Amino acid sequence: MKKYNFNAGPSILPREVIEQTAAACLDFDNSGLSLMEISHRAKNFQPVVDEAEALMKELLDIPEGYKVLFLGGGASLEFCMVPFNFLEKKAAYLNTGVWATKAMKEAKLFGEVVEIASSADKNFTYIPQNYTIPTDADYLHITTNNTIYGTEIREDIDSPIPLIADMSSDFLSRPLDVSKYALIYGGAQKNLAMAGVTFVIVKEDALGKVSRQIPTMLDYRTHVKKGSMFNTPPVVPIYSALMNLRYIKAHGGVKAMDKLAHQRAEIVYGEIDRNKLFVGTAEESSRSLMNLTFVLKPEYQDLQDEFLAFATSKGMVGVKGHRDVGGFRASCYNAMSIEGCEALVACMKEFEAQH
Ligand SMILES: *Cc1c(COP(=O)(O)O)cnc(C)c1O
């Protein structure tokens, strides 16, 4: 039976990206050696990092003055690296969920943290709209896509202070105006690559503004200066990122990814809204195009396990919602096909007909 991977992360990747990465693990660049056993400083590996950076710049139209980095540690290490490198006195955070809260917790180790708005009052089912950004803060931190709650800021907001964004779960799903950001980061394992590499896009002249000493590995300037090669980078995940960047380019770039994301969301949200059994959890204007969250209506609550078992029997993988929200979550990243969304809809319809 065909499986449709709706996992929230690590998550679906294009089949050819997986095959190409697997092939390089057996024989990299016709060298007779595995990608796993070559030096990251080998002559034929530097082009991998160079091309990944160049493609990222091309696909997102990244302006001059920005550097693309491939680091370790995941988005979670960025929660601490960001304040280490940017927080002198005070930072502003928009609290849209668990990940934003975790980012704030780390920032508090370095200075004052102002929570400019929070949607915790309604279990993060919406993106706060009315807030004031303190102009005396060193930066504003946002989480563009809230993987757990299915809400998203799918626009590049205006900020009078340097804007820093965790884009772990909607990166490369739409065109970006990178010039509005001082730094963008995320773990690769949602929409870019296999787990193990963290992407960072940083405006070079935004660095070096804090007075504290920064440990070498946690100082972005180290990685800017050394081109992500200060120490041994995660070579296999970087290679898989390159394969995916090539895939995105070959399939029409981020504009095409954006169009597909809208198409997928229309299909799945359309069914969530139509089906008598289900209801979406996020406020409509805040709905994520990447993680589509829904629950059973109160009168059908007892069908929770039955629907999950039914969906699994139809080849749907990973549709169980996060424990903080319950219900179901269909993660529809770039690699999720329209066919996969239609299969999920057919499954929801069939289940409805049975009840
Ligand atoms: C998954 C996720 C993280 C955590 O990423 P790690 O790479 O596992 O540290 C952070 N932020 C968001 C929005 C996520 O979806």
Q: What is the dihedral of CA 52, 58, 59, 65, to 10 degrees?
A: 90
Is 180 an annotated catalytic residue? no
Is the CB–ligand 1 distance for residue 327 below 6 Å? no
pLDDT of residue 4: 98
How far is the C-alpha of 168 from the C-alpha of 173, rounded, in Å?
11
Ligand 1 atom at minimal distance to the Cα of residue 143: 13
* Contacts for 183 with CB less than 8 Å, ≥ 6 apart: 82, 86, 162, 164, 165, 200, 201, 202, 203, 206, 220
Q: What's the pTM value of the predicted model, to 2 decimals?
A: 0.98
193 alpha carbon – ligand 1 mean position (Å): 13
Is the CB–ligand 1 distance for residue 96 below 6 Å? no
235 alpha carbon – ligand 1 mean position (Å): 20
* Residue whose CA lies nearest to ligand 1 atom number 10: 75
Residue from 190, 203, 314, 320 carrying the catalytic annotation: 190
Beta strands in the chain (DSSP E): 4-5, 66-71, 90-95, 112-118, 140-143, 145-146, 151-152, 163-166, 183-187, 198-203, 278-280, 291-296, 316-317, 328-331
Q: What string of pLDDT tens digits covers the 355 residues of the chain? A: 999 999 999 999 999 999 999 999 999 999 999 999 999 999 999 999 999 999 999 999 999 999 999 999 999 999 999 999 999 999 999 999 999 999 999 999 999 999 999 999 999 999 999 999 999 999 999 999 999 999 999 999 999 999 999 999 999 999 999 999 999 999 999 999 999 999 999 999 999 999 999 999 999 999 999 999 999 999 999 999 999 999 999 999 999 999 999 999 999 999 999 999 999 999 999 999 999 999 999 999 999 999 999 999 999 999 999 999 999 999 999 999 999 999 999 999 999 999 9
Q: Give residue 108's identity as a one-letter amino acid code.
A: K
Q: Which of 65, 133, 159, 149 lies closest to 324, judged by CA?
A: 149
pLDDT of residue 31: 95
Q: What is the per-residue burial (b if ≥16 Cβ within 10 Å, else e) of 101-133?
A: bbbbebbeebbebbebbbbeeeebbbbbeeeeb
Ligand 1 atom at minimal distance to the Cα of residue 195: 7
pLDDT of residue 214: 98
pLDDT of residue 253: 98
Is 297 an annotated catalytic residue? no
Is 190 an annotated catalytic residue? yes
* Residue whose CA lies nearest to ligand 1 atom number 14: 168
Q: Which helix (H) or strand (E) holds 33?
A: none
Is the CB–ligand 1 distance for residue 143 below 6 Å? yes
Is the CB–ligand 1 distance for residue 166 below 6 Å? yes
152 alpha carbon – ligand 1 mean position (Å): 14
290 alpha carbon – ligand 1 mean position (Å): 14
DSSP string across 200-221: EEEEGGGSS---S---GGG-HH
pLDDT of residue 241: 98
Distance of CA 30 to the CA centre of its chain: 33
DSSP state of 133: -
Probe target for ligand 1 pocket from 79, 81, 168, with the most ligand atoms within 8 Å of CB: 168
Task: Yes or no: say if 348 and 278 are a contact pair by the CB < 8 Å rule.
Answer: yes
